[in-house]
Structure 1
Amino acid sequence: MSDLRMGLIGLGMMGRHHARVIRETDGIELVGVADANGDPFGVSNGLALVDSVDALIRVGIDAAIVAVPTTAHEQVAIALAEAGVHTLVEKPIAVDTAAGERMVEAFESRGLVGAVGHIERFNPALQELRKRIDAGELGEVYQIATRRQGPFPSRIADVGVVKDLATHDIDLTLWLSRSRFDSLYARTASRSGRPHEDLIAFTGQLENGVVTNHLINWLSPMKERVVVVTGERGAFEADTLSGDLTFFENGTIATEWDSVVAFRGVSEGSMIRFALAKREPLRIEHEAFRDAILGERQDVVTMREGLETVKVAEAALRSASGNTHVGIGG
């Protein structure tokens, strides 16, 4: 079978990484790129460079990656759907729920693969964590807590920290738990003078009873990407910056040294850091998109899943705005 003809629209910071990975991935060929603002990073490298999604479609493509600003996702993606082009849109799926619903309908009604680039699902530490949770190694899951902090990325101007960064944590929580959010309470702040919020802290409860807690901001001088899943047999900690996964076993050996008990607890168990194959998450994401188009497997983040993430993000913003606990309906 010939390679899938891939187009890329949006040649900014994320777009250039997509172009590199497309060129390095078997079974797909980058045949055209598009950006109304030109090609600042030299991504085209001799390929057709056009200024619109319609012109990119005319190049002749089977699939496309959309890495334009969030406010343009709907317009670009629906044009691709109407042309019969399988599409992966960078996260979040859309600027709001209504736009996301229209995108879901456009792709599902045509039987096209519509995916969202929630790349954390393809991080080796989180993929291994999900396998171990599903295998019962943690027993019953009690809590999922995330910390995602760092400096403001100047490339983000159209949404706040909730729809940009927090959607990572919402999606990975839904994915790891295999459950939906039932309710949440959130607080936000804007401390940097930009029009959108740059800090959020929220806690929630999933439909399966798991309690969640999330701390996300664009204000920290250090960068942190940590997920802690606590259950009846201990806790897993995944660091998605390093790709490390560590298991802290519940205590099985009584501690008789009184001064140690005072700060460590009454017992302690083993700590294991797992050896993992650390492949680039973006490459794994592209392979999953390719294979979904070919019908070989289905582990992309679907647009319907991306829509659920935006619904939770909007519920968090409503909660913060009204200073109230918010239920999340089906």
Structure 2
Amino acid sequence: MTAPARPSGAVLGLGMIGRHHARILQSHPDLRFAGAVDPTGDRYGAVHDPSRLFGTLDELLEHDRPDFAVVAVPTEEHLPAVRALAAAGVHVLVEKPLAASGAQARELIAVVRDAGLRGAVGHVERCNPALLDLRRRLRAGQLGDVFSITTTRVGPFPDRIRDVGVVKDLATHDLDIVRWIGGAPVQRVSAEVEHRAGREHEDLVLAVGRLTSGTTFACTVDWLSPAKVRRTRVLGERGMLVADTLAADLTFHANGEASTDWAPIQQFRGVSEGDTTHYALERREPLLVELETFAAFAMGDDEAEVVTLEEGLEAVAVAEAALDSAQRGETVQCGP
């Protein structure tokens, strides 16, 4: 079977992330926009052709069955949306978190598998140029032995969120980054959460843990900070790599080689400060890269580096372990 020259994609949900998927699909020269579904309408004016806006999935499918669809509806609606798309033979890119619970995530995976379709998860940070280059440098051994991975993801509360707390909505990014960069599953996690905004769900989490490789990690995530920060720091025996994913910047702080005979400094300094290098990176929009990669995967490219549904399940499972840890006041084991 020959893949179509221009794979067609649709978007379910035109909220904060879905509208950007629609923008890219409508402007990409190698992809075709089949349409968007949102029962509340197109409040952001994302769809250029009104005939491509539908109130229900059935209406879209009657008009133009896409090759793949982006599921960007609220998290609790992911599973029913994927069921309907799978029944129509449509490949799915599901926005993170994969599902509202581990049980729903496992059912979603089974639905896609049983339909013989391809699916992936929209952990878009894996397409950020700063993190891609950081990971490449780690795999090349630039830091030597890796000691710890630390992430910070804080900022004001987004009005778009109603169905999950900060752990499943945002910390799933960081828990996935830690596992992806560290190259090993999370072995155990300990977390504390806060409820400061008067909502049912938590709005701050501090999580620490260890990967099965022995690397430690710490994640700070909240919806309470007045300034938006997105930073990943990896510390190793030869220095530290710091990625600012808002600016797509990567900086290397090397351990210094200069010695000192000043006794107090020798005692307390640890390593000395070395050179700092700010890398020049090729910057492409991460969401654009994600869509291109998934379209290739959906059309049969097994080499396309998507975030698998199983990896999406793992992020949800570790997020649930963090919430369990906070509730019980204990460290929770996640794996061997």
TM-score (structure 2 length as normaliser): 0.94
Q: 1:301 aligns with which of 301, 307, 310?
A: 307
Measured against aligned partners, the alpha-carbon deviations of 1:288-314 in whole angstroms (never above 9, x if no partner) come to: 111112333321111111000000000
Q: How does 1:5-20 map to 2 (within 5 A)?
A: 5-20=8-23
Whole-Å separation in 1 of the counterparts to 2:105 and 2:270: 48
Q: Which residue of 2 aligns with 1:28?
A: 31
Alpha-carbon distance change, 266 to 130 in structure 1, aligned in 2, over 3 angstroms: closer
**CA apart distance, 1:199:** 0.4
Determine what percentage of the aligned residue pairs are the same residue: 46
| Pairing partner for 1:38 from 26, 31, 41 | 41
CA distance in 2, matches of 1:14, 1:328: 30
Using the TM superposition, name which of 117-126 and 77-86 deviates more: 77-86
Deviation of residue 179 (structure 1)?
Answer: 0.6
Verify: 1:52 aligned to 2:56, yes or no.
Answer: yes
Shift of 1:260: 7.2
SS of equivalent residue, structure 1 residue 221: coil
Deviations 1:29-62 (A, max 9, x none): 1121111111112222223222222322232111
The correspondence of residues 188-207 of structure 1 with structure 2, limited to 5 A, is 188-207=193-212
- What corresponds to 1:111 in structure 2? 116
The Cα of 1:81 is off from its aligned counterpart by 1.4
Q: Structure 1 stretch 159-168 or stretch 6-15: which is displaced more?
A: 6-15
Match of 1:184 in 2: 189
Instruction: Name whichever of 203-212 and 18-27 sits farther off.
Output: 18-27
Count of matched residue positions in the alignment of Structure 1 and Structure 2: 330
Residue aligning to 2:173: 168
Determine the structure 2 residue equivalent to 1:136: 141
Q: Is the 8 A contact 1:91 1:116 kept in 2?
A: yes
Structural RMSD (CA): 1.7
User: Structure 2: how far apart are the matches of 1:54 and 1:257?
Assistant: 75
| Distance in 2 between residues matched to 1:62 and 1:147, nearest whole Å | 36
309, 314, 318: which one pairs with 2:320? Answer: 314
Return the alpha-carbon distance in structure 1 between the equivalents of residues 135 and 253 of structure 2.
Answer: 16
Asked whether the 8 Å contact 1:7–1:61 carries over to 2, the reply is: yes
Tell me if the contact between 2:91 and 2:117 (Cα under 8 Å) persists in the aligned partners.
Answer: yes
* 1:197-276 pair list within 5 angstroms: 197-256=202-261, 267-276=272-281
Structure 2 portions without partners, runs of 5+:
none
Aligned mate of 1:325, from 312, 327, 331: 331
* Shift in Å, 1:264: 5.8
Post-superposition CA distance 1:222-256 (Å, at most 9, x none): 11101011111111100001111111112211135
CA distance in 2, matches of 1:317, 1:57: 38
Is the CA contact 1:25–1:286 (under 8 Å) kept in the aligned structure 2? no
Query: Is residue 82 from structure 1 mapped to residue 87 from structure 2 by the alignment?
Result: yes
Using the alignment, how far apart are the partners of 2:236 and 2:60 within structure 1?
49
Change (3 A) 1:40 1:266: closer
Q: Distance in 1 between matches of 2:80 and 2:262?
A: 65
After TM superposition, the structure 1 stretch with the greater mean CA deviation from structure 2, 296-305 or 212-221, is 296-305
Unpaired runs of 5+ residues, structure 1, are none
In 2, are the aligned partners of 1:25 and 1:287 still within 8 Å (CA)?
no
Looking at structure 2, the residues matched to 201 and 280 of structure 1 have their Cα atoms a distance apart, in angstroms, of 29
